[in-house]
Amino acid sequence: MSPDVIVVGAGLAGMTAALAAEEAGADVALVDRGAIGLGTNSALSNAVFSGPISPGRADEYVDLVLRVGKQLNRVAYVRQVARESSGAVAFLQSLGLEIARIPGQWSVRSARPEVIPGVVLVRRVAELVAARSRIRAARGLYVRRLLTSPDGVFGVAGVDRGGRERTIRAPAVILACGGAGAIYSRHDNQASMMGQGYRLAAGAGLALWDMEFVQCYPIVLDEPEMPMVMIYPPYPREATLIDASGADLLKKHHLGDINQAIVRERDTFAAMLAAEAHAGSVCVDLRAVPDTSWAFHPLSLLARFRSECRSRPVRISPAVHFFMGGVQTDEEGRTSHTGLFACGEMVWGLHGANRMGGNALMECLVSGRRAGLGAARWVRAHSEDATDPVPASGETVSGEDRVDLRDLRRRLQDVAWKHAGVVRSGEGMAAGVRMVEELWHTLHRARVGTLRERILRDDLMSAAFTLRAVLTAGLGRLESRGSFLRDDYPAQDDARWLKNSRTSWDPDSDRLHVDYLPVNAA
């Protein structure tokens, strides 16, 4: 099959895009380095979707999203999500899953309490994908670059599991590569989420918007030999958070119960826990939770890991959860680069300075469908316009020095957490830029032999590039807003900083340039 549309990334957004493009008559190649659906952040989710309570109350939803996003959202995109959410919910309901309804949200329920709801969701969508004869899954293909001509993007190039270089050509490409949480030492993302999509987009000449805004979730397991996963809400009323001395942190900081703090004070809650951790371990204490509660979601998930969760306090930490920044798209999911579309966490504009809970998965459905339909329409209108592709511009990797790539990954993740984590400072971000640029140049010189080393170096190049963008965009924003907190500029400054950052990369000089545009000037 010579596809009409290539979708890079097989999470919920990518699978939705593939289904929509196929529905519109396109032959689709769905490309992922791992398993379709299960190797993505969608599978790790709590499977909660937010949207308007009813079509007639869409303005209430829009206003709430703008309040949470501190007015940096792209309003036209927020309104589009509000309009199209009913169709997304109809698709969700058509899957035959058990779905619970609460005001403003829909939640997929798992019939087996030990199975994450996100796994249930992506398995069902993956079944639909597998049943479509015009969608071909290219599993195990690691996309390294886009193929371009002077007229636009016309395919992808990468390496397969056997180490063979492969290219796939198509009139339209959809980036659905997810975010970059795994560039941090503390995160709750899949380990492969290292900003590959951002680097692909920037290498093709696209600007990245609002990259300084990175959301942390306050309560993530941080115990040796346990996976670093988010402890999902709702939390039982018997749960408490304690510091190293055993003091109740919720009472100490007047935050009420955990669920209220998560909803109302998420960012300051995460900052408080990070500050408390400097004095010693911060733990969640679940010993008072009744035995009957452990049989149900979400505590049933913790029961899989270790019995210590029930018998002693377990250490937790804030951790990176979601990237608000990304590439700009229009109402059909098109970027400014001809033939290139994007969806999911790759896309900028819905979340502003912070993401409202449940909006990530709703965005996957809405943006995935619009990108798939938009790409199929593009193919019908421009199928005769293709020219011979050439590799997209990008950095040269010389490969002269032997480098311990695993050590380099740990160093990069530590730089990210220390200098671009929960609370930042100008001095810290400037130091972080210097450190990551040194690591960036070290990676250029790194010699690799095995396929695993080649892929790890490419992952680390993407991570280093993305971290450079996060730090560079953050250095210029002289305020705190939403998820972006600076201890040297602790106040939100609407008079000067009601602006979106735009970061562009010049591969020839290897320089990042940032400017700040008034909101809705994009």
**Could you read off the pLDDT of 330-364 as tens digits, one per residue?**
999 999 999 999 999 999 999 999 999 999 999 99
Q: Which residue has the tokens 């593939």?
A: 18
Q: Which residue has the tokens 């032997």?
A: 402
| CA–CA dist 86, 366 (Å, integer) | 10
Q: How far apart are the first and last CA of the chain?
A: 38
- What single-letter DSSP state applies at residue 280? S
382: in domain: no
Do 312 and 223 reside in the same domain of the chain?
yes
- The structural domain count of the chain equals 2
- Over residues 222-239, the mean pLDDT reads 87
Task: Give pLDDT, residue 392.
Answer: 46
pLDDT tens, 32-51?
Answer: 999 999 889 999 999 999 99
Which of the four pLDDT bands, split at 50, 70 and 90, describes residue 31? Answer: very high
Which of the four pLDDT bands, split at 50, 70 and 90, describes residue 213? Answer: very high
| CA–CA dist 296, 122 (Å, integer) | 21
461: in domain: yes
- Over residues 159-174, the mean pLDDT reads 95
Most confident of 187-191, 263-267, 305-309: 187-191
SS (H, E, C) 184-243: CCCECCCCCCCCHHHHHHHHCCCCEECCCCEEEEEEEECCCCCCCCECCCCCCCCCEEEC
Task: Give pLDDT, residue 394.
Answer: 46
Please count the other Cβ atoms lying within 10 Å of the Cβ belonging to residue 471.
Answer: 27
pLDDT tens, 403-433?
Answer: 899 999 999 999 999 999 999 999 999 999 9
CA angle 522-57-374, nearest 5°? 45
Mean pLDDT, the chain, rounded, equals: 92
51: in domain: no
Query: Does the pLDDT at position 306 exceed 70?
Result: no
| CA–CA dist 8, 178 (Å, integer) | 10
Residue-range definition of the domain harbouring residue 309: 219-320
| CA–CA dist 470, 464 (Å, integer) | 10
Residue 26 tokens, joined: 């396109």
pLDDT tens, 262-272?
Answer: 877 788 899 99
- Over residues 144-156, the mean pLDDT reads 91
24: in domain: no
Tell me how far CA of residue 394 lies from CA of 146, 200, 508, in angstroms.
10, 9, 8
Task: Give pLDDT, residue 385.
Answer: 53
Which one of 268, 300, 320 terminates a domain? 320
pLDDT tens, 467-482?
Answer: 999 999 999 999 999 9
Query: Does the pLDDT at position 389 exceed 80?
Result: no
Contacts (Cβ under 8 Å, ≥6 apart) of 464: 412, 436, 439, 440, 443
Q: Which of 469, 465, 467, 491 is nearest to 478 (CA)?
A: 491
Using an 8 Å Cβ cutoff, are 319 and 230 in contact? yes
Which one of 320, 339, 362 terminates a domain? 320
Task: Give pLDDT, residue 500.
Answer: 98
CA angle 141-137-326, nearest 5°? 65
Element (H, E) at 155: strand 152-159
Query: Does the pLDDT at position 114 exceed 90?
Result: no
Query: Does the pLDDT at position 171 exceed 60?
Result: yes
186: in domain: no
Which one of 291, 320, 349 terminates a domain? 320
476: in domain: yes
Using an 8 Å Cβ cutoff, are 268 and 250 in contact? no
Which of the four pLDDT bands, split at 50, 70 and 90, describes residue 391? Answer: very low
52: in domain: no
Which of the four pLDDT bands, split at 50, 70 and 90, describes residue 150? Answer: confident
Query: Does the pLDDT at position 141 exceed 50?
Result: yes
Task: Give pLDDT, residue 299.
Answer: 85
Please count the other Cβ atoms lying within 10 Å of the Cβ belonging to residue 24.
Answer: 18
292: in domain: yes
| CA–CA dist 348, 210 (Å, integer) | 8
CATH number at residue 293: 3.90.700
Paired residues of 50 in beta bridges: 105
CATH number at residue 475: 1.20.58.100
